[in-house]
C-alpha cells in the first residue's frame, strides 16, 4: 500500500495563532525529507497557503479553496479549476442584492487570482481584508460584482454572525448549479463562514482527484471543522484533532492531540514508526 497524509490548515495543522508551530514545521520538513507523502486540503487561497507553509515545501498538489482548486505549489500551476457558470454567477449576485448581503468574490483569469469586494460596510469583511493585507500581503479590489460577472468567477465568501449567514445559506442552497459550505470561524466565537462554488467542487472531490492522479491506495485525513467532513468522506482513515468540532470527532476513526499540541505531526511520526511500508509513493504525474 502507498499512503497520502492530507491535513486541513486552520484549527488542525495550524495553532491558535494561525501559524505552524516551530515543532510542526521542523518535523514536517524532516518527514518530507524522509519520503512521507503529505499535502493540505484547506479553504485558504494559494497565496495565503504558501505564505503560511513557509519552509515546508510540498511536492504533492494541494486542495485549496475547499476543493475549488487543485494546485501544484512546487510548479505554481493549477491542475484543477472549478468555475461557476456565468448565468449562475448572475443569479447569485441578484439574490445577494435582494438580501442586502455583501462579501468577497474571487476571479481566476489568466492564472491570476483576484479578490473583489463591493463595500466595507460589513465589519467582519473589513477585518478579514485588513488582516490579510497586513499578514499575507494580499491585494483586494473594489468593484460592483455585476460588472465583473464572467466565466472566470470561482468563489464567493461571506463572513458574519450566524443569524445573518444562515438565511443567505438557505436561499443559495436552492440554486442547483452550486455547492456551498457553512462553518464557524476558528478564531472567533461569533462569526461563521459561508463559501459558495461550482457544484462539482468540494474537499471530497479534490482528495478523490489526488487519489486518481497520483495513484494512492490509502489516504489519511486530518481535520477539525465542519468543512472537513467532506474531506473525511474521501479518506480511508479519518483523524480529528483534539480541539475538533463534535461532529468531526464523531465522524473520525481516531483522535490525535490538539492543534496547539502539534497533534497532526505527532500522529504521523508514530505512523512512520509503525507503518513505514506505506510512506514512499511520491506523486510523479
Q: Which residue from 180, 139, 124 is spatially nearest to 48, judged by alpha carbons?
A: 139
Domains of the chain are: 3-81+202-278 (3.40.50.1000), 86-198 (3.30.1240.10)
Asked if residues 141 and 114 have their Cβ atoms less than 8 Å apart, the reply is: yes
pLDDT digits (tens, 9 = 90+) for 204-261: 999 999 999 999 999 999 999 999 999 999 999 999 999 999 999 999 999 999 999 9
Determine the 3-state secondary structure of 241 from DSSP: coil
Which of the 8 DSSP states describes residue 21? -
Digit-coded pLDDT (tens) for 179-214 = 999 999 999 989 999 999 999 999 999 999 999 999
- Please say if the pLDDT value at position 18 is more than 80: yes
pLDDT of residue 280 exceeding 70: no
Q: Whose grid coordinates read 462539482? A: 200
Euclidean distance between CA atoms 151 and 198, whole angstroms: 12
| Percent of residues in the chain assigned helix, strand, coil, to nearest 5 | 40, 25, 35
How far apart CA 247 and CA 228 sit, in angstroms, is 10
Contact 224, 245 (CB under 8 A): yes
Q: pTM to 2 decimals?
A: 0.94
- pLDDT digits over 83-120, tens only? 999 999 999 999 999 999 999 999 999 999 999 999 99
Amino acid at each position: 500500500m502507498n499512503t497520502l497524509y492530507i491535513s486541513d490548515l486552520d484549527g488542525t495543522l495550524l495553532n491558535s495563532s494561525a501559524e505552524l508551530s516551530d515543532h510542526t514545521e521542523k518535523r514536517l520538513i524532516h518527514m518530507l525529507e524522509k519520503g512521507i507523502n503529505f499535502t493540505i486540503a484547506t479553504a485558504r487561497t494559494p497565496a495565503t497557503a504558501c505564505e503560511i507553509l513557509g519552509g515546508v515545501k510540498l511536492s504533492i498538489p494541494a486542495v485549496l479553496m475547499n476543493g475549488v482548486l487543485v494546485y501544484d505549489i512546487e510548479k505554481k500551476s493549477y491542475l484543477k479549476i472549478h468555475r461557476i457558470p456565468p448565468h449562475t454567477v448572475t443569479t447569485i449576485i441578484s439574490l445577494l442584492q435582494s438580501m442586502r448581503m455583501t462579501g468577497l468574490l474571487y476571479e481566476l483569469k489568466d492564472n491570476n487570482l483576484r479578490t473583489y469586494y463591493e463595500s466595507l460596510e460589513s465589519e467582519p469583511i473589513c477585518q478579514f481584508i485588513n488582516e490579510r493585507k497586513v499578514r499575507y500581503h494580499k491585494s483586494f479590489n473594489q468593484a460592483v460584482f455585476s460588472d465583473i460577472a464572467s466565466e472566470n468567477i470561482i468563489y464567493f465568501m461571506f463572513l458574519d454572525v450566524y443569524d445573518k449567514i444562515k438565511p443567505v445559506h438557505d436561499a443559495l442552497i436552492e440554486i442547483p448549479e452550486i455547492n456551498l459550505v457553512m462553518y464557524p470561524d476558528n478564531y472567533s466565537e461569533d462569526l461563521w463562514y459561508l463559501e459558495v462554488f461550482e457544484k462539482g467542487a468540494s474537499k471530497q472531490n479534490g482528495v478523490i482527484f489526488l487519489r486518481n492522479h497520483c495513484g494512492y491506495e490509502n489516504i489519511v485525513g486530518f481535520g477539525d471543522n465542519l468543512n472537513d467532513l467532506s474531506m473525511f468522506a474521501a479518506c480511508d482513515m479519518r483523524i480529528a484533532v483534539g480541539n475538533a468540532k463534535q461532529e468531526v470527532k464523531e465522524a473520525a476513526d481516531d483522535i490525535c492531540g490538539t492543534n496547539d499540541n502539534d497533534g497532526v505531526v505527532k500522529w504521523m511520526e508514530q505512523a512512520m514508526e509503525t507503518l513505514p511500508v506505506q510512506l514512499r509513493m511520491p506523486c510523479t504525474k
